[in-house]
Structure 1
Amino acid sequence: MASRIFSRLKAIDFYKKIPSDLTEATLAGAWLSILAAIIMILLFGMEFLAFMSTTTSTHLIVDRSSANELLKINFNVSFPALSCEFATLDVSDALGTKRLNITKTLRKTPIDHVMMRVGAAKDDSVKKPAPKYDHEGRFDEEDDIDITLPIDHNNFQQTLARYPIVVVNFFAPWCHWCQRLAPTWEAATKEVHDKYPEWDGRIRFAKVDCTAEMELCRGHFIMGFPSIRVFRKGHDEIAIGGRQDHESYTGDRTKEALVAFADSLIPSAGQPHIKHEHLEAAPQSSGCNMAGFILVKKVPGTLHFAARSEAHTFEHSWMNMSHMVHSFYFGSRPSSRKYSLLQRIHPEGLNADWADKLHDQTFLSEHPQSTHEHYLQVVLTTVEPRSGNKMLGYDAYEYTAHSHTFMSDDTPSAKVTFDLSPIQIVVKEASKPLYHFLTTTCAIVGGVFTVAGILDSILYQSVKLLRKAELGKQG
């Protein structure tokens, strides 16, 4: 019974055997067998390497960032002719959000005209209220006072050398704030010099007309009007790091406040190393480096670098917004591991400036009142490694940059306008499935074996035909 079942099973054998005494081995078949084996091994090795490697797939989708997600913008920009005293960063966006004078995440460092650091970074985190003024017209009927006549470059240094303390008002006649301060300054000057006359010689109030003494004002890095500076022998005659130090008064601009300020200065007259607690260091250089980051919504917006003050007026023709962008990029810098991943699977590879197209570029103001504008179009590329670990994934922001300079009737500035693409590029890394490898391996073995068999059959039959032809000729 069992033998009968087994005999029936033999009928469905796909691989029926030919008796060995009916087969014939040939030398050509041997060479074809060796060649087929070599080809099988090579193709198998190549397929195995392909199986062990990974492939990437790229998709374009609508940006799936959450509605409340914020974008980090990092920047480091140097302005050789913009004083840190007035340098500000404002941010606005297409939704109408405006943030003026960003300070929390911004660091300002004084630099000179060749962008070398010349002082400590300035902290503007504590915003001071605008100074108060006396009522307009309060001192308009005061008599003219000779001592209130402006000093100039001919007697400026002599005035500083004569008095232990000199408080100088650098002004411009056309400036609104200067016009409002003028009668108060004259009244305060009269009262201070009545209290401390020439024979006392401890303090002097003076003023300089910057429209007439442009070089003198520029030499003291005056950018906004009015600027009140305090020069004291106790500091100015002591060179600190090759520079002479003096201070800036930023308090109220009323007569009472100025006279009280003069009274508070008197005890330190002629005393070196004593600084007034309510004074700030005056600018010792012409420029400012602004570095830091801001968080913005993912909508079109603008970063606005400019000189701004609620209590000063600026001469536009004096302002030079030339700048150098050391770095400007979106998001966070990738770790070395994430950078290697991005470099490996990025669709087009990475250029040196892949994330920072403005890196180390310089933009010069060749004409007065020049405003610089940079337009950036930002694209998000998300890479997802095959490991499935989201911590290894990375959001890479790349952008194109277009810059131009134009003459502006407003305060010269440097603007960076950014626009984010609604399309997100997703690059996924994946490995080949095992079934694909097995299928391909079988195809390699079967295909090469079959093709080699066909070639061997053709070759064998061709040889037989040739031999028959030769025998026919001989017969």
Structure 2
Amino acid sequence: MEKVMNKLRNLDAYPKINEDFYSRSLSGGVITLVSSLVMLLLFFSELRLYFHTVKETTLLVDTSRGEKLHINFDITFPATRCSLLSVDSMDISGEQHLDIRHDIFKKRIDPQGNVIEVKPEGLGAQKIEKPLQRHGGRLDHNETYCGSCYGAEMSDHDCCNTCEEVREAYQKKGWGMTNTDLIDQCKREGFIQRIKDEEGEGCNLHGSLEVNKVAGNFHFIPGKGLHQSTFNLFDLMALQAESYNITHRINKLAFGPSIPGTINPLDGVSWVQHNPHGMYQYFVKVVPTIYTDIRGRIINSNQFSVTEHYKSVEEGQTLPGVFFFYDLSPIKVTFKEEHVSFLHFVTNVCAIVGGIFTVAGIVDSFVYHGHKALKKKREMGKLG
């Protein structure tokens, strides 16, 4: 057993020196103090990096299919009335949604930007309890009222009991409502009066859209959008020159949930119309993004880049409005938050301690022997 202990003692890589042979110096104390401070500083720096999360970025081909694209927006039109603003969307697959109302809210605002009224578009128009007329003449006993569609009926049994239903019937025919004063339902609902009441006001629209994950566009236009063949038309309902002012501010535009640490390029962007009415276009390139935080929570969202273009009425047939044309990138970006591994942290700490200790020893040895050599030369000079 004693032989084994002796062999282990011979393997000692750190032989001890008797303290009687130590030679302590002032320079050695200063170097020890400085190296200890540097070592401590680097240790806390490494400790901070260990607790700090890092993002690992990966690029992949997007192979997802059949998903939906969620668009969240908050846009203010300071010179366009809420009654005349509508939201449409369409994509290359042929699917289109005109005058979208669900999940969209409108705020009437005054010229100073103060909110006058908030109304959800999904509620639709006010219903008329007793429309003024019925197809075919007088009503029989216990028969319900049925308003006229003014020539836009698809069958003898079709009814239009509100101004909105008349407009939708015209839309199916591809017609535009050019004179609402002659439509009893619109007169009774006070449609024209509502437009007059909003004179000089602006409008804030916020909400969300759910569209197919293919290239397409959505737009905000003054007037109720119709679709006939491949062209967008308008109901020219009481539209005046100021109604074509598409000055706007984008408070928020995001394609999916927010990603921590990411600022969307259009948030807070404003544009003021100085020329005659035209079309302001945003061409958006959407990049699918998956973000995984340190707790493993996954956020499926999108980032995007954008270019802008204004097309005035002088450049040809244009529709007044703000249009967002989006296309999707085939590349998906993944962000993953990670901590530095504990073994990596320990390795770096050992490298800091060992490296500084070795460098400090070299510096101390150089200073000590240099000082000793200079002292010896001075002594020899005195002797001579």
SS at match of 2:55: strand
1:8 matched to 2:26? The reply is no
Aligned ranges 1:151-162 → 2 under 5 Å:
none
1:295 matched to 2:210? The reply is yes
1:282 corresponding residue in structure 2: 191
Q: Alpha-carbon deviation of 1:326?
A: 5.2
Q: What CA distance in whole angstroms lies between the structure 2 residues aligned with 1:37 and 1:115? A: 61
1:227 corresponding residue in structure 2: 180
1:436 matched to 2:344? The reply is yes
CA contact (8 A) 2:57 2:336 kept: yes
Q: Alpha-carbon deviation of 1:250?
A: 4.3
Q: What CA distance in whole angstroms lies between the structure 2 residues aligned with 1:13 and 1:325? A: 75
Report Cα offsets for 1:395-451 as digits up to 9, x if no partner. Answer: 364443513032143654442222333334433322222112222222222222222
Out of 309, 312, 325, the residue aligned to residue 403 of structure 1 is 309
After superposition, the Cα gap between the structure-2 partners of 1:126 and 1:65, relative to the gap in structure 1 and judged at 3 Å, is farther
Q: Alpha-carbon deviation of 1:460?
A: 2.8
Q: What CA distance in whole angstroms lies between the structure 1 residues aligned with 2:26 and 2:113? A: 83
1:321 corresponding residue in structure 2: 244
Q: Alpha-carbon deviation of 1:110?
A: 6.7
Q: Look up the equivalent residue of 2:191 and give its one-letter code.
A: A
After superposition, the Cα gap between the structure-2 partners of 1:359 and 1:438, relative to the gap in structure 1 and judged at 3 Å, is closer
TM-score using structure 2 length: 0.67
CA contact (8 A) 2:311 2:318 kept: no
Q: Look up the equivalent residue of 1:48 and give its one-letter code.
A: L
Q: What CA distance in whole angstroms lies between the structure 1 residues aligned with 2:372 and 2:13? A: 29
Aligned ranges 1:21-420 → 2 under 5 Å:
21-63=20-62, 66-78=65-77, 80=79, 84=83, 87-107=85-105, 121=119, 123-124=123-124, 131-133=149-151, 224-229=177-182, 249-250=184-185, 279-284=188-193, 285=195, 289=203, 290-306=205-221, 307=223, 308=225, 314=236, 320-323=243-246, 324-325=248-249, 327-331=251-255, 334=258, 342-343=260-261, 346=262, 354-355=263-264, 357=266, 359=268, 361-364=270-273, 366-367=275-276, 370-390=278-298, 393=299, 395=301, 397-407=303-313, 408-409=316-317, 412-420=320-328
Q: Alpha-carbon deviation of 1:461?
A: 2.4
Q: Alpha-carbon deviation of 1:35?
A: 3.0
Q: Look up the equivalent residue of 2:184 and give its one-letter code.
A: Y
Q: What CA distance in whole angstroms lies between the structure 1 residues aligned with 2:210 and 2:85? A: 20
Q: What CA distance in whole angstroms lies between the structure 2 residues aligned with 1:118 and 1:32? A: 72
Q: What CA distance in whole angstroms lies between the structure 2 residues aligned with 1:389 and 1:74? A: 24
2:16 corresponding residue in structure 1: 17
SS at match of 1:409: coil
Q: Look up the equivalent residue of 1:40 and give its one-letter code.
A: M
Q: What CA distance in whole angstroms lies between the structure 1 residues aligned with 2:103 and 2:78? A: 18
Q: What CA distance in whole angstroms lies between the structure 2 residues aligned with 1:115 and 1:30? A: 69
Q: Look up the equivalent residue of 2:346 and give its one-letter code.
A: L
CA contact (8 A) 1:110 1:118 kept: yes
CA contact (8 A) 1:378 1:399 kept: yes
Gaps of 5+ in 2: 128-145, 153-169, 171-175, 228-232
Report Cα offsets for 1:312-340 as digits up to 9, x if no partner. Answer: 96499956421234545124565xxx7xx
Q: What CA distance in whole angstroms lies between the structure 1 residues aligned with 2:148 and 2:244? A: 25
Report Cα offsets for 1:186-207 as digits up to 9, x if no partner. Answer: xxxxxxxxxxxxxxxxxxxxxx
Q: What CA distance in whole angstroms lies between the structure 2 residues aligned with 1:71 and 1:77? A: 20
Identity %: 22
Q: What CA distance in whole angstroms lies between the structure 2 residues aligned with 1:304 and 1:56? A: 35
Q: What CA distance in whole angstroms lies between the structure 2 residues aligned with 1:117 and 1:463? A: 81
Q: What CA distance in whole angstroms lies between the structure 1 residues aligned with 2:109 and 2:149? A: 27
Q: Alpha-carbon deviation of 1:304?
A: 3.6
After superposition, the Cα gap between the structure-2 partners of 1:71 and 1:43, relative to the gap in structure 1 and judged at 3 Å, is same
CA contact (8 A) 1:57 1:429 kept: yes
Q: Alpha-carbon deviation of 1:47?
A: 2.3
2:329 corresponding residue in structure 1: 421
Q: What CA distance in whole angstroms lies between the structure 1 residues aligned with 2:103 and 2:10? A: 85
CA contact (8 A) 1:76 1:328 kept: yes
CA contact (8 A) 1:321 1:371 kept: no
CA contact (8 A) 1:226 1:312 kept: no
SS at match of 2:30: helix
SS at match of 1:225: coil
Question: Number of paired residues?
Answer: 325
CA contact (8 A) 1:63 1:423 kept: yes
TM-score using structure 1 length: 0.56
Q: Look up the equivalent residue of 1:100 and give its one-letter code.
A: L
Radius of gyration: which is bigger?
A: 1
1:447 matched to 2:345? The reply is no
Gaps of 5+ in 1: 135-176, 178-222, 230-247, 252-275, 347-353
CA contact (8 A) 1:321 1:364 kept: no
Q: What CA distance in whole angstroms lies between the structure 2 residues aligned with 1:60 and 1:420? A: 15
CA contact (8 A) 2:98 2:226 kept: no
